[in-house]
């Protein structure tokens, strides 16, 4: 049994069954998803080796949710960008950036819900206006966050002279990779600009 302030240990057996040591019951991936939504902390361990396998299990939960009709949250453009960062020089900073971005988004979500709750005490006309204003402001903040992200992930300028520059085919491949990354970055910037224009029409 886990201590009060410690994460619950979920053991995964060879037959893929998951056992919640806190409740002494077998659980499913859907049960773990509900625990996450409720803010319940847990770790998943291999029942045989004791290895921490929380990361792959959480990834599996996302995979299962993304395959349910009407629950897709990860745009194809985002998935392509994420895949492109694997093995890239920026890979090391991506996890930290995504974590901080989600923390910021969660805070905005809480603030938006608080404004929605406060609007219920207003007149019917204000009730209609206030949520839209709050949603508009939140969207603007998210756009700013995405724009800052694009600036953060803009490839660093290459320093050095001819001795540092790749030659022949290597130089051609490097230029090709840079061009592809620049194209992906431009595409995301255009999407953000389109979101901004839609937002302006709502104002």
The pLDDT value recorded for residue 45 is 97
Please check whether residues 38 and 110 belong to one and the same domain. no
> What is the three-class DSSP state of 27?
strand
- Burial track 157-186 (b if 16+ CB lie within 10 A, e otherwise): eeeeeeeeeeeeeeeeeeeeeeeebeeebe
Please check whether residues 128 and 152 belong to one and the same domain. yes
Q: What is the pLDDT of residues 86-133, one digit of tens each?
A: 998 888 888 888 888 888 877 777 777 777 677 665 555 554 555 556
Please check whether residues 118 and 179 belong to one and the same domain. yes
The model carries a pTM of: 0.56
**Is residue 112 domain-resident?**
yes
Please check whether residues 31 and 84 belong to one and the same domain. no
Q: What is the pLDDT of residues 3-41, one digit of tens each?
A: 557 899 999 999 889 999 999 999 999 999 999 999 999
- Can you give the residue range of the structural domain that contains 125? 76-156+173-202
Q: What average pLDDT does the segment 48-58 reach?
A: 96
Q: What average pLDDT does the segment 134-158 reach?
A: 60
pLDDT at 58 over 60: yes
Please check whether residues 33 and 115 belong to one and the same domain. no
- Residue at a domain's end among 66, 94, 115: 66
What is the side-by-side strand order in the sheet with 42-46? 25-27, 18-20, 8-12, 42-46
With left for phi above 0 and alpha for psi between -120 and 50, is residue 117 left, alpha or beta?
Answer: alpha
Please check whether residues 108 and 20 belong to one and the same domain. no
Please check whether residues 105 and 141 belong to one and the same domain. yes
Please check whether residues 108 and 178 belong to one and the same domain. yes
Please check whether residues 40 and 106 belong to one and the same domain. no
Please check whether residues 109 and 196 belong to one and the same domain. yes
Please check whether residues 60 and 82 belong to one and the same domain. no
**Is residue 21 domain-resident?**
yes
**Is residue 45 domain-resident?**
yes
- Residue at a domain's end among 36, 66, 96: 66
- The span from the CA of 171 to the CA of 184, in Å, is 20
The pLDDT value recorded for residue 135 is 60
- The span from the CA of 167 to the CA of 175, in Å, is 11
The pLDDT value recorded for residue 49 is 96
**Is residue 190 domain-resident?**
yes
- Residue at a domain's end among 66, 88, 109: 66
Domains identified in the chain, total number: 2
pLDDT at 184 over 70: no
163 or 64: which carries more pLDDT confidence?
64
């Amino acid at each position: 049994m886990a201590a009060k302030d410690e994460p619950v240990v979920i053991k995964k057996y060879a037959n893929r069954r998951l056992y919640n040591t806190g409740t002494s019951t077998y659980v499913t991936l859907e049960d773990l998803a509900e625990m996450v939504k409720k803010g319940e902390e847990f770790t998943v361990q291999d029942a045989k080796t004791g290895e921490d396998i929380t990361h792959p299990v959480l990834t599996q939960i996302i995979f299962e949710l993304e395959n349910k009709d009407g629950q897709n949250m990860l745009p194809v453009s985002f998935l392509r960008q994420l895949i492109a960062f694997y093995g890239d020089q920026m890979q090391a900073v991506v996890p930290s950036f995504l974590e901080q971005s989600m923390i910021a988004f969660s805070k905005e979500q809480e603030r938006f819900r608080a404004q929605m709750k406060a609007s219920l005490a207003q007149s019917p006309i204000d009730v209609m206006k206030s949520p839209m204003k709050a949603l508009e402001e939140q969207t603007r903040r998210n756009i700013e966050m995405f724009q800052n992200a694009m600036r953060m992930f803009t490839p660093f300028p290459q320093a050095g002279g001819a001795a540092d520059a790749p030659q022949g085919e290597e130089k051609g491949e490097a230029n090709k990779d840079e061009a592809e990354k620049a194209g992906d970055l431009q595409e995301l910037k255009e999407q953000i600009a389109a979101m901004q224009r839609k937002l302006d029409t709502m104002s």
